[in-house]
Amino acid sequence: EARDGVRTRNDPAAPFQRSTITERQGITQVQCFSREIIHGSLSANGNNATLLVYDLHLDTTKKSRRIREAQVKFEFRSSSTGSSAPQVVNIAPYRSVSLLSISAEESKTLGYGLSAGASQFTSVESSVKFEKTVNQTKNDSARVAGGFLCNDYGKQVGAQWILFENELVASGTPKFMRFAILLDRENDEDNFECKVTIDASGDWKAVLGGLVRSTPRDDPILFDPTFPPTNKLRKGYDIENLGSVDLDELVEIEFDKPLKKKFEGHLV
């Protein structure tokens, strides 16, 4: 049964730092998982910081359907009344990243017709038609655009990514994106949280077929800075210098994830 309308909740027995951020199953599959949560400092004697890495999966269960555009938003706030929200100091990917760039030649024949009747009493008519063939090159690419979200005071308290398809070949959006966020928590050791919103827009067939539905509201992600580092992607990080981590090295964007290795028809 489709689970498009079911939100992801925090487990009352273990509410902090859940691993599944969003999961919507149906004709549209939208999933987001936590891959890394590292609490520490931006630098030696610097502000408190948190490094976050997430995996986004976008797909459809029907080959004739596709996701044309998707938007991911992460908005942070303090869990304590009166405390300031963590600020986003770095994200990856940042700005516009192009993928699947394609050029295509297109020819158009333009016709211009002239006609004149001999008289109103005869059916004799002469016509002249001029045709011109115009060749042009069209370029397009799929894109991922990352940027910051600011509150009313201009502080960067969130991040967003928009994924676009290559319209020239109707590629659909990338199906997988790993992205990273670095937070400055100043001197705050309090718990904080994040509101996550993921919207996906399908092609017109998908819309008519009910593929794209209203986005359910998930519980906010709850963070506890006293939790130990997850260290899933690396053996260890310099938690006293998280500002030195190259976030671009953590990024992955793919349309189809290939099998790593095959041996006699079996995945190794």
* pLDDT single digits (tens) 32-60: 999 999 999 999 999 999 999 999 999 98
Output the pLDDT for position 5: 54
Q: Is residue 249 classed as helix, strand or coil in its secondary structure? A: helix
Tell me which H or E stretch contains 146. strand 125-150
Output the pLDDT for position 63: 81
Output the pLDDT for position 258: 66
Q: Are 41 and 189 in contact (CB under 8 A)?
A: no
Output the pLDDT for position 61: 84
The token pair at 234 is 């690396």
Task: Give this prediction's pTM.
Answer: 0.81
Distance CA 74, CA 28 (A): 21
Distance CA 27, CA 210 (A): 9
Output the pLDDT for position 137: 76
Quote the distance between the C-alpha of residue 239 and its chain's center.
27
Point out the residues of the chain with pLDDT beneath 50.
1-3, 115-126, 208-214, 263, 265-268
Output the pLDDT for position 215: 57
Output the pLDDT for position 209: 47
The token pair at 106 is 């297109």
Output the pLDDT for position 134: 67
* pLDDT single digits (tens) 107-136: 666 665 554 444 444 444 445 556 666 677
